[in-house]
Amino acid sequence: MHDLHAILFIAALFCCTSTFAAEKYENATPWSYQRILRPVVPVVKDATWPKDDIDRFILARLEKDSLHPIGDASRLTLIRRASFDLLGLPPTQEEVERFVHDSAPDDVAFAKVVEAFLQSERFGERWARHWLDVVRYADSVGRVWNAPFLYAARYRDWVIDSLNADKPYNRFVAEQIAGDLLPATTVLQKRDQIVGTGMLALGSMDLQEGSYEQFLLDQVDDQIDVVSRAFMGLTLSCARCHDHKTEPVSQKDYYALAGIFHSSRTLSGTPNRNDEARGGYVSAEALVDLPTALNERVGPPTKLPAGVHSMDDIRTMGNPKETVRYDHDPHFCMGVIEGEIKDCELAVGGKVSDREAAPERGKFGIPALPPLPKIPAQSSGRLELAQWMTQPTHPLTSRVAVNRIWQHLFGEGIVRTVDDFGTTGSDPTHPELLDHLAIRFVEGGWSVKKMIRTLMLSRTYRLASTGNPEHPDAGNKLRWRMNPKRLELEPLRDTLLQLAGKLALDRPEGIQVVGTGGKGRHGVTRGLLSIEDPYRTIYLPVVRDNVPELFSTFDFPGPTQIKGQRDVTTVAPQALFFMNNSMVDELSAEIAGKTGKDVKGVYRLVLGREPSSEEVRDAGELDLQTLVQALLGTAEFRYVF
């Protein structure tokens, strides 16, 4: 980590001193490209309300419109909110009791709750899924030949572990771009960093594309798209065929960036049909073999272990009666390594066959953004890109990151379009607050947990969520109250299992996808875990074009898309799920069984509160299992208030 910081520091210095000749750009430079200047914390009239500078920014804006924040949420509401936000699971009854009856002042008592949740391993499982939405995570390549990604889960687990370990965000970013090139002090660290590059290999590609160069350019485009949108909120891939229509980004800039990825080799384990790797569309030869010593070369395996590791391995078995499982190898992962180093020729109109001179890789001159450090002749430039992206003064990386964190806690970003900070994105509702947070984030060592803790201990986070249609800011743009949040698929399903005492907290072992991507019983790629299996939802395989119906019903994002903000829909099939689904039926019976014959116990367990006397009376009309099922279907259960 020290090494990395040193490198980043040097990179930052270097960036400040080097300049490139500026190109002419027709489009205006958006606010988000501008340097972050430390905003002055505003003075507020009601000095007793704020607990943190965050609150001062919020309150000052409200006071400008003569508005006031609503009252605080009750401790009962607050612990449920915190638990779902951090763990994706309800608090246990003991946790609720302890907090509600804690004689310590609210600030102290709540800080203890937040701290305990942040230390839980469930935290990483909850927050990793937010990130996986952004990086189009899937367990298969999708498209024409839907081959399985045998080692995508390794990247998924890397995200979970990175979050639990509170890996600094700048390092989290750098490892995904250039983990193989970053210095490491131990071999374990080196292996860990390389797994991070799996993010670049998760794209949905057409493995049967006949032109290999076309395939490579498509892959590079996917990588530019995900890197620019996930980390910077910029849509740079729009400049593939022409200068960007709305951003000050030229086609030359695009190919300067493309040269970096074009000089890298992507090892997804699912090679294009013209790739040099053998093994068919599923091939261990197209994976990264993790080093077992620090000085070991990183590349595809030179020798394959025994077992089933490729499509060819399965084909040689003839037509087996049983489903053939792939063997897991602890040394394999998806990732990116250095390739043949060469700049990428500009493709006129995006056409592979119509090429012009290649711009020097890394030499892009997007206005206001710092230039990239000079790329050595024998390097792809991914290391320099990672350094550039994570320098403390980069105007976008920290802004985009804190905005994503804010969104997951407050329901809506300060910039609503979390993946688009460009001209077409929405303006920040609180621009100074955003910059304030970005600076605090960087100064706090890019600690995600620290940022989450800060946000949650603000008074703004602790507000009640009760709405008011007559309020002048009924849409809550100014944050006078908390937004109620719909429970997404994962916390919803995990909670059902948890309440029934069925949730398994371990990770499924081995490779949980089968198939080759072809046709027929053994060809079609599928996951081996269904929604009935007791694992947390994040561990269920996501096979592109074969996502479980339940996922789509509850707004799981299409796994080919970069989607930092999920849709929230209310459709009848959701109600049908609660009314009739056999899993809900069984789990309701289990939950009812755990609560004795006690209506109050059911309310405590399912909704985390005592029922009113009217509710007790009404509940008496239903048998206990039917009551549990009913409560699971209520809006109260499906929202976090």
Partner 1 sequence: MPTRRSILQSTSTGFGWLAFNALHQQWASAAAPPKTINPLAPKVPHFAAKAKRVIFMFMQGGPSHLDTFDYKPELAKAEADKVQKYMGSVFEFKPRGKSGIMISEAFPELAKHADDLCLLNGMQTRTNAHQMATVALHIGSETFVRPSMGAWIVYGLGTEAEDLPGFVTINPVGDGGAMNYGSAFLPASFQGTRLVSGGGGVPDLSNGRLSDAQQRKQIEFIQKANRKLLSGDPGNPEIEGIIQSYELAYKMQTSVPEMLDLDKEPQHIRDMYGLDESETERFGTQCLMARRMAEKGVRFIQLGSPGWDHHNNLRESLARQCTSIDKPIAGLIADLKQRDMLKDTLIIWGGEFGRGSGYDNEPYNGRGHNGGGYTMWMAGGGVKGGFTYGSTNDLGNTAETGIIGTHDLHATVLHLLGINHERLTYRYAGRNFRLTDVSGEVAKAILA
With the CA atoms of 219, 221, 222 and 228 taken in that order, what torsion angle do they form, in degrees rounded to the nearest 10?
140
Q: Which of these ranges, 2-10, 114-122, 507-515, 616-624, lies near partner 1 under the rule CB under 8 A?
A: 616-624
Among 423, 460, 495, 498, binds partner 1 (CB under 8 A): 423
Stretch in the footprint of partner 1 (CB under 8 A) among 88-96, 266-274, 276-284, 611-619: 611-619
Q: List the Cα angle 437/443/449 in 5-degree steps.
A: 70
Q: Find the part of the chain contacting partner 1 (CB under 8 A) among 41-49, 267-275, 490-498, 626-634.
A: 626-634
The amino acid that residue 599 corresponds to is V
Among 305, 320, 501, 573, binds partner 1 (CB under 8 A): 573
What are the residues whose beta carbons fall under 8 Å from the beta carbon of 361, sequence distance 6 or more? 256, 257, 258, 259, 260, 262, 263, 343, 344, 375, 380, 381
**Residue 634 contacts partner 1 per CB under 8 A:** yes
What is the smallest separation between the CB atom of 153 and partner 1, expressed in angstroms?
21
Residue among 29, 120, 246, 447 that touches partner 1 (CB under 8 A): 246
- What's the closest the beta carbon of residue 145 comes to partner 1, in angstroms? 8
Q: Is 488 in the site for partner 1 (CB under 8 A)?
A: no
Residue whose CB is less far from partner 1, 439 or 550: 550
Q: How far is the CB of 558 from partner 1 (least distance, A)?
A: 6
Q: Which is nearer to partner 1, 229 or 453 (CB)?
A: 229
Question: Which of 379/565 has CB closer to partner 1?
Answer: 565
Query: Does residue 323 interact with partner 1 by CB under 8 A?
Result: no
Nearer to partner 1, 102 or 615 (CB): 615
Residue whose CB is less far from partner 1, 406 or 446: 406
Burial class (CB in 10 A: 0-12, 13-18, 19+), 600: middle
Beta carbons of 90 and 80 less than 8 angstroms apart? yes
Which residue, 29 or 546, has its beta carbon nearer to partner 1? Answer: 546
Nearest Cα neighbor of 370 from 7, 14, 8 is: 14
Helices (H), 515-623: 520-523, 549-553, 572-580, 582-594, 599-607, 613-619
Is 562 near partner 1 (CB under 8 A)? yes
Burial class (CB in 10 A: 0-12, 13-18, 19+), 65: exposed
Q: Which of residues 517-556 bind partner 1 (CB under 8 A)?
A: 519, 545-547, 549-550, 552-553, 555-556
Distance between CA 426 and CA 459 in Å, rounded? 25
Q: How far is the CB of 43 from partner 1 (least distance, A)?
A: 24
> CB neighbours (10 Å) of residue 34?
13
**Quick one: how far is CA 112 from the chain centroid?**
26
Q: How far is CA 232 from CA 10, 33, 334, 395, 450, in A?
A: 21, 10, 23, 9, 21
Q: Who's near 257: CB < 8 A, 6+ residues apart? A: 224, 228, 236, 361, 362, 364, 385
Q: Looking at residues 328 to 357 of the shown chain, list those that interact with partner 1 (rule: CB under 8 A).
A: none
Nearer Cβ to partner 1, position 534 or 558? 558
Nearest approach, Cβ of residue 130 and partner 1 (Å): 16
Quick note: the x/- pattern for partner 1 over 441-480, rule CB under 8 A, is: ------------------------xxxxxxxxxxxxx---
If binding is defined by CB under 8 A, does position 563 make contact with partner 1?
yes
Q: Does 23 bind partner 1 (CB under 8 A)?
A: no
Q: Name the minimum Å distance from CB 602 to partner 1.
A: 12
Closest contact distance (angstroms) between CB of 555 and partner 1 is 6
The candidate with the shortest Cα–Cα distance to 407, out of 391, 428, 436, is 428
Q: Are 125 and 88 a contacting pair, CB within 8 Å? A: yes
What value, to the nearest 5°, has the Cα angle with vertex 494 and ends 491 and 496? 110
Binding segment for partner 1 (CB under 8 A), chosen from 204-212, 266-274, 275-283, 292-300, is 204-212
Alpha-helix residue ranges (DSSP H) falling in 135-211: 152-164, 169-178, 187-196
Query: At closest approach, how far in Å is the CB of 194 from partner 1?
Result: 28
Q: Which of 107, 342, 569, 616 binds partner 1 (CB under 8 A)?
A: 569
DSSP calls for 483-534: PPEE--HHHHHHHHHHHTT--B-SPPPS--EE--SSSHHHHS-EES--TTS-
Binding residues for partner 1, total number by CB under 8 A: 92
Can you tell me which of 581, 592, 595, 624 binds partner 1, judged by CB under 8 A? 581
Q: Are 445 and 427 in contact (CB under 8 A)?
A: no
What DSSP designation does 564 have?
A: S
- Strand-pair category, 332-333 with 639-640: unpaired
**Closest to partner 1 by CB, 120 or 246:** 246
Which of 318, 520 has the CB closer to partner 1?
520
Residue 204 contacts partner 1 per CB under 8 A: yes
Contacts of 525 (CB under 8 A, 6+ apart): 140, 146, 147, 148, 513, 514, 515, 516, 517, 543, 546
Q: How far is the CB of 520 from partner 1 (least distance, A)?
A: 10
| 558 touching partner 1, by CB under 8 A | yes
Q: Which of 112, 416, 450, 594 binds partner 1 (CB under 8 A)?
A: 416
Task: Give rounded-to-5 percent helix, strand, coil for the chain.
Answer: 45, 5, 50
Give the CA angle between residues 34, 30, 558 to the nearest 5°: 110
> Which residues ranging from 354 to 393 are in contact with partner 1 (CB under 8 A)?
none
- 484 near partner 1, rule: CB under 8 A: yes
User: Would you say 442 or 605 has its CB closer to partner 1?
Assistant: 605
Q: Could you say which of 142, 179, 271, 301 contacts partner 1 (CB under 8 A)?
A: 142
